[in-house]
Amino acid sequence: MSDFTMLRERMIDRQIAARGLDDPKLLAAFRSVPREEFISRDYAGYAYEDSPLPIESGQTISQPYIVALTIDAAEIGPGDKVLEVGAGSGYAAAVIGQIADQVIAIERHAELVRLAHDRMRRLGYANVRIVEGDGTLGWPEEAPYDVIVAAASGSHVPKSWLAQLKPGGRIVVPLGDPGSAQTLVKVTKREDGTLVQENLGGVRFVPLIGKEGFRDSGSAAQ
Ligand code: SAM
């Protein structure tokens, strides 16, 4: 077993399963994605730390546990079409792609889009498509989605996401101002179109920047 394989197994046991997320398909998904391939060589030695890490364009790769919590809360399963807003390195999208049928991951920084796209090709994640754009507007051309998850914190759930979600679909998004307390929120669209919101606890994310999110300065865009 290589050092990274050992560290990955330990990360799954101690950071994910030990915290109560023990669905075998979730753990298998983390087992098959090499997090060290999604960060620069300088940070590879920290790939399985219990924390976010810096990536290009001044952004971060999410903490593995938060990725697991989001996947679990969104009840991502086989056959699902998932939109991830905030593709960053592409790590979460790759993990989601091990469970879901199809993943569209949108990112606003062109540099990150290029790097994540190259990784998907190199590592063979053919069911993950990385696209560039303002994810607060969703990605209408592939809608509707079973699940929309966000890796950046908004002020509210964008209207476009509600419109692009299938009946029975789930949105998991952190809500709250940058630098202040944020809550991970799950919104379920019932078959009759009514929305149910649940609060899943405190989190800390970078801001969701865009037309239906925050301005670059961190103030509310609308
Ligand atoms: N899921 C990522 C990963 O596994 O590496 C981590 C993403 S990082 C915590 C959040 C990302 O959201 C950043 O890369 C940021 O540029 C992106 N972001 C923020 N607002 C966005 C928007 N409106 N549309 C697309 N991406 C956005």
User: Tell me: the pLDDT tens digits for 107-153?
Assistant: 999 999 999 999 999 999 999 999 999 999 999 999 999 999 999 99
How far away, in angstroms, is 169 Cα from ligand 1 center? 21
How far away, in angstroms, is 93 Cα from ligand 1 center? 11
Marked catalytic residue, from 2, 51, 62, 155: 62
How far away, in angstroms, is 116 Cα from ligand 1 center? 12
Query: Residue 160: CB within 6 Å of ligand 1?
Result: no
Q: What integer pLDDT is reported at residue 222 of this predicted model?
A: 32
- pLDDT band for position 1 (cuts 50, 70, 90): low
Q: What integer pLDDT is reported at residue 86 of this predicted model?
A: 98
User: Tell me: the pLDDT tens digits for 188-201?
Assistant: 999 999 999 999 99
Contacts of 52 (CB under 8 A, 6+ apart): 60, 61, 62, 63, 66
User: What pTM was computed for the model?
Assistant: 0.96
pLDDT at residue 216 above 90?
no
Query: Residue 16: CB within 6 Å of ligand 1?
Result: no
123 sits in the region (left: phi over 0; alpha: psi -120 to 50; else beta) called alpha
Q: What integer pLDDT is reported at residue 178 of this predicted model?
A: 83
Q: List the one residue out of 83, 77, 79 whose CA is nearest residue 24.
A: 77
User: Tell me: the pLDDT tens digits for 71-82?
Assistant: 999 999 999 999
Give me the mean pLDDT over the 60-86 stretch. Answer: 98
Domain ranges of the chain: 3-203
- Is the confidence metric ipTM above 0.95 for this complex? yes
Q: What integer pLDDT is reported at residue 220 of this predicted model?
A: 40
User: Tell me: the pLDDT tens digits for 10-44?
Assistant: 999 999 999 999 999 999 999 999 999 999 999 99
Coil vs helix vs strand at 196: strand
Pairing assessment for the beta strands 145-150 and 165-175 based on DSSP bridges? parallel
Q: What is the Cα–Cα distance from 31 to 23, expressed in whole angstroms?
A: 12
Coil vs helix vs strand at 147: strand
How far away, in angstroms, is 130 Cα from ligand 1 center? 12
Query: Residue 53: CB within 6 Å of ligand 1?
Result: no
Among the atoms of ligand 1, which is closest to the Cα of residue 213?
Answer: 23
pLDDT at residue 219 above 60?
no
pLDDT at residue 218 above 80?
no
Among the atoms of ligand 1, which is closest to the Cα of residue 95?
Answer: 4
Q: What is the distance between the terminal CA atoms of the chain, rounded to a whole angstrom?
A: 51
Query: Residue 83: CB within 6 Å of ligand 1?
Result: no
62 counts as catalytic: yes
pLDDT at residue 180 above 70?
yes
pLDDT above 70 coverage of the chain, percent = 97
Q: What is the Cα–Cα distance from 155 to 190, expressed in whole angstroms?
A: 23
Written as six digits, the tokens of 69 are 């919590």
- The superfamily CATH assigns to domain 3-203 is Vaccinia Virus protein VP39 (3.40.50.150)
